[in-house]
Amino acid sequence: MAPKTKVIAFDIYGTVLCTDDPENAMPPRTGFVEFILRVKSFGLKTISTSDADLTNLKLDLSATFRGRAPFGPEVFDDFYRLMMVPKDYADILADYHLNAEELLVIGNTFYKDLVGAPPFASRILVPSYGETPNNFDFSQIVIP
């Protein structure tokens, strides 16, 4: 059965990439590559919703994915810079013509990343990558 989700919005730093990794030595988060390949097999859109400078973000994604993933930053269908706190996902709903329940928001900070998600959107809070040891694995996420 196909998921109701049509777009997945990812915070990047602390969620997909290690928060403090200026040399891009750490790989993408455990299971992220497998998760993305599964998401794309369903035909879902993936977007970045970071508050970081997008040029630097794309450079970090390129460096981190290089040799570790069968894709680069182009795996994201779009890049949004959401600097407000909490993040406001209204433009994404409008740009992709989504109902709230068709959006899945994944982030590592409850207030900053998830609180601003529209009512009825799915939300997944992950532990911050690189800040504390954890057993989180993206490949275990069930897509609603």
In what helix (H) or strand (E) does residue 39 lie, and over which residues does it extend?
Answer: helix 32-41
Q: 0.85 cut: is pTM over it? A: yes
Distance CA 115, CA 62 (A): 29
| pLDDT confidence of residue 89 | 98
- Banded pLDDT at 134 (limits 50, 70, 90): confident
- Banded pLDDT at 38 (limits 50, 70, 90): very high
- Map residue 6 onto helix, strand or coil: coil
Helix, strand, coil proportions of the chain in percent (round to 5)?
30, 15, 55
pLDDT in tens, 47-106: 999 999 999 999 999 999 999 999 999 999 999 999 999 999 999 999 999 999 999 999
* Tokens of residue 85, six digits: 């706190």
Domain boundaries, the chain: 7-140
> Exposed e or buried b for every residue in 26-62, given b needs 16+ CB within 10 A?
ebbbbebbebbeebeeeebbbbbbbbbeeeebbebbe
For all residues of the chain together, what is the average pLDDT? 95
CATH 3.30.1330.40 assigned to 7-140: no
Neighbouring C-beta atoms of residue 136, cutoff 10 Å: 15
